[in-house]
Amino acid sequence: MSKKTPEVDKKTFELKNIQMNDEKGTFEAVFATTEVVDLDNDKIKKGAIGKQDVIISSYQHSSWNGELPVGKGKVFEKGNEAIVKGTFFLKTMSGKDHYETIKSIGKNQQWSFALQNVDWTYVKENDELFREIKKVTIPEVCPVMKGAGINTRLLDIKNKSKKPEKLKKPGKQPGKSKKPVSKKHKKDFCKQFKKFKEIVDGVETINRKTK
């Protein structure tokens, strides 16, 4: 039986190649692979994504919490790959900072995208139970700490002063696992992120009091 999830969910992925253009602040990335089960035990069917306009959120989906978006783009499918072509807002401080940071990190930068209105059903193949996604709305894409997608990579990122920079696609990714991220790792990451947020909130409180 097919189910539809209206809530916004988020899925992370890891990039292997990089192409950027400094002239326009544009980039291109493979953000998902269809017809394979990813590390979240999801399989996105070919045609489920199609062509959509997306917002490029600030780091770690911060735009959902009030931070301004840092870019915009379009997603589309090409073969078994879902690709995002985007542009960073280089005239804004946050957009430029994100652009320069992602360019510097290159192939090691990991990304995430938001899923909404997910039409899915459970499927069992070879004793493996997974969620098969038939149709999905993708409102947002952003850089994050940890990835779960299969064979995702940054293809292109461009700037004003230099020619498009291409990085070779690496071989096997160190630490890449076919198994879902363990609950312990998720819990440890959440604890670290919570501590970091408490520190940031404390600094902001002190700054407000001293103004």
Phi, psi at 32, each rounded to 5°: -165, 155
pLDDT at position 162, please? 47
Per-residue pLDDT reduced to its tens digit, 67-124: 999 999 999 999 998 888 999 999 999 999 999 998 888 877 777 888 899 999 999 9
Residues in the chain, pLDDT under 50: 16, 160-164, 167-181
Query: Secondary structure of the chain in the HEC alphabet?
Result: CCEEECCCEEEEEECCCCCEEECCCEEEEEEEECCCECCCCEEECCCCCCCEEEEECCHHHHHHHCCCCCEEEEEEEECCEEEEEEEECCCCHHHHHHHHHHHHHHHHCEEEEEEEEEEEEEEEECCEEEEEEEEEECCEEEEECCCCCCCCEEEEEEECCCCCCCCCCCCCCCCCCCCCCCHHHHHHHHHHHHHHHHHHHHHHHHHHHHC
Distance CA 70, CA 95 (A): 4
pLDDT at 96: 94
Read off the amino acid at residue 163.
Answer: K
pLDDT score of 65: 87
